[in-house]
Structure 1
Amino acid sequence: MAGEFDLIARYFNWPAQGEGVSLSVGDDAALLSVKAQHQLAISVDTLVSGVHFPVNTHPADIGHKALSVNVSDMAAMGAEPRWFTLALTLPEYNTAWLEGFSAGLKQAADDYGVDLIGGDTTRGSQTITVQIMGEVTPAAALKRSAAKLGDVIFVTGTLGDAAAGLALAQGDSSIYASGEKRAYHDYCIQRLNRPTARTVESRIIRQYAHACIDVSDGLLQDLMHVLKASQCGAVINTDDIPFSEALSSLHPPEQCLQYALTGGDDYELLFTVPDDQCDGFIKAMSEQQLSCQAIGYITDDAEQIINQYSHLLTATGFQHF
């Protein structure tokens, strides 16, 4: 009968490709070498079936997302993602599920250039925990607590797509469509299932930004994390929040805004740039054909978010408990 070691050998024993791995999968611990003058950045996320992804999600999408959301944390810190471990709990040894999950996880590892260096497997309710490690120089590390008065608030990409995708995945037939609209449907589902960790953008952002966070639980809630840590407030121009063509075609502006403000799961980067650095930052992003949008600025009204009409915005979003 196939067991834990067979499972690891068949699906997760990949040769390390990057530098710094002295010992990888198969021993009691991995051995790593961190570059000189760099700090080790570490983060961990757990995904639970039916909570962090719909139960009918394809296993390859689950594998890809499990790593992508962790790589996003490295991007938000200004760190280069390098290595990760996997703790996998499954109700049974399901070959078809494991093949799909492993393929999606391996694809994400290749996409982001990170190595799987160890982990654990056990029987139980389906949960996936990835711990990721990266490297960052002390000067480049982006912290939530570093936003400054007058900083301009930016976001990468577009917001609200994943929340719309979740509504579709959960069977909201009132917004299900065919033909051209079906392509928009598929786009939002793809944004939910396979978010893109903004590692390329992060390499530019860390040269200019004060503070940064990835948008996992909704724009307002994640922005509030920055404001609390930095003891400041913000004005958000809701008209400037970027929406995709897909989202705008499926929903009226009010619903698009609601998804963007409180939906979460987009894994775009939200960050603050000193006003006198904005021109250089925007030019650097444009030269690399990378998307970003200024949506507001930092104020001295501690832990308060208002819109351009001075209306208070409530920082609601996904709640883990």
Structure 2
Amino acid sequence: MGEFDLIARYFARPARRSPLGTGDDCALLAPAPGMQLAVSTDMLVEGRHFLSTVDPARLGHKALAVNLSDLAACGAKPLAFTLALSLPAVDEGWLEGFSRGLFALAEAHDCELVGGDTTRGPLNICITVFGEVPAGAALLRSGARAGDDLWVSGTLGDARLALEVFRGTLGLPAELFDIARQRMETPTPRTALGQALQGIATAAVDVSDGLVGDLGHILRASGVGAQVDADAAVARMRLPAHPLAATAGLTPELLRLCALSGGDDYELLFTAPAERRDAVAAAAQRADTPVARIGRIKAERGLRIVDAGGAPVAQRFGAFDHFA
């Protein structure tokens, strides 16, 4: 099978938002009047971002999900994406699964494939996604203010538990591992919540490299500090509440590490004025996405991590860094 046969069989889809479809050298996109384009690119490399044993349908889902998560953090509505795919060989079974997972998520978010590239080489997936947001309404990292609440969506840390199992540092019952692995391989991009938070949240970021590290982006861009309740973050984990968790050796230190330093959550971490708590709750309800307060923004720079009683937590927390 040649390159263009491969594209035609697995990736050719009608495109409504680009008048040229996918058959020209460029796609043409125009945001609606009064809207700005939001653009983000992410790359997934085999052995670095995913294992060779991952189900290709789940990989197709995740490849797009991590990009949609960036749009969510900006409060943008998904429009379209491009796909650059490097393949060591043509594996039709893999391509069928990958494209199925990719397009299932794309259709769920009304986001069209409008172009890209394929080449032979090590397995590497690069997606650029395009969205739109009302001019001046985008959620940024730079708007947090002292006194703001710190919120997080969904669940934290369970994907990191799956990674620890793959690393051989932790054993989990099969039922727990399946839950953790699903969180790691098929994250849920919170695009509806991001759009619902326009005009409410003062700053936002998606949790891709770990809560502590990603919160640092907000703190630096906004010139503020924060206090985070480590136990409130652990309470956002799904696995510790499972009936089998008591047999899994999930120590308090491990749970805090996973909740605060674990990557691959792709939840939204955002700030909002304390007086807008009802508005945040209403936005979360409209988006059908649970949210929880886990801290507060402070005027004094730096990050202070405390337990449920307000005492400092001595444990150190880092974040994922490709070149560290």
Scaled to the shorter chain, the TM-score interval is over 0.9
Q: Which residue of 39, 44, 47 corresponds with 2:41?
A: 44
The TM-score normalised by the length of structure 2 is 0.92
Name the residue aligned to 2:199: 207
Distance 1:206 1:305, change over 3 A: farther
SS of alignment partner, residue 213 of structure 2? helix
Name the residue aligned to 1:3: 2
Name the residue aligned to 1:153: 150
Q: Pairwise mapping of residues 164-243 of structure 1 onto structure 2 (< 5 A)?
A: 164-172=161-169, 174-177=170-173, 182-241=174-233, 242-243=235-236
User: After superposition, what is the alpha-carbon deviation per residue over 1:80-124, rounded to whole angstroms, capped at 9, x for unaligned?
Assistant: 011000000011111111111111111111122100000000111
The TM-score normalised by the length of structure 1 is 0.92
CA distance in 2, matches of 1:161, 1:217: 13
SS of alignment partner, residue 32 of structure 1? coil
Aligned length: 313
User: After superposition, what is the alpha-carbon deviation per residue over 1:239-268, rounded to whole angstroms, capped at 9, x for unaligned?
Assistant: 211333424424233211110111110000
CA distance in 2, matches of 1:57, 1:152: 37
CA distance in 2, matches of 1:189, 1:153: 27
SS of alignment partner, residue 271 of structure 2? strand
Distance 1:295 1:91, change over 3 A: same
State the shift of 1:33 in Å: 2.2
CA distance in 2, matches of 1:246, 1:115: 34
CA distance in 1, matches of 2:218, 2:66: 19
Kept in 2: contact 1:84–1:133 (CA 8 A): yes
User: After superposition, what is the alpha-carbon deviation per residue over 1:109-146, rounded to whole angstroms, capped at 9, x for unaligned?
Assistant: 11221000000001111110000000001232010011
Q: Which runs of 5+ in 1 are unaligned?
A: none
Amino acid across the alignment from 1:32: L
Kept in 2: contact 1:233–1:301 (CA 8 A): yes
Q: Which range moves more in the overlay, 195-204 or 112-121? A: 195-204
Identity among equivalent pairs (%): 44
CA distance in 1, matches of 2:8, 2:287: 40
Name the residue aligned to 1:316: 318
Name the residue aligned to 2:276: 277
Q: Pairwise mapping of residues 59-74 of structure 1 onto structure 2 (< 5 A)?
A: 59-74=56-71
SS of alignment partner, residue 19 of structure 2? strand
CA distance in 2, matches of 1:187, 1:56: 17
State the shift of 1:281 in Å: 1.7
Kept in 2: contact 1:220–1:314 (CA 8 A): no
Distance 1:204 1:294, change over 3 A: same
CA distance in 2, matches of 1:66, 1:292: 24
CA distance in 2, matches of 1:247, 1:149: 32
Cα RMSD of the aligned pairs, angstroms, is 1.7
Amino acid across the alignment from 1:281: V
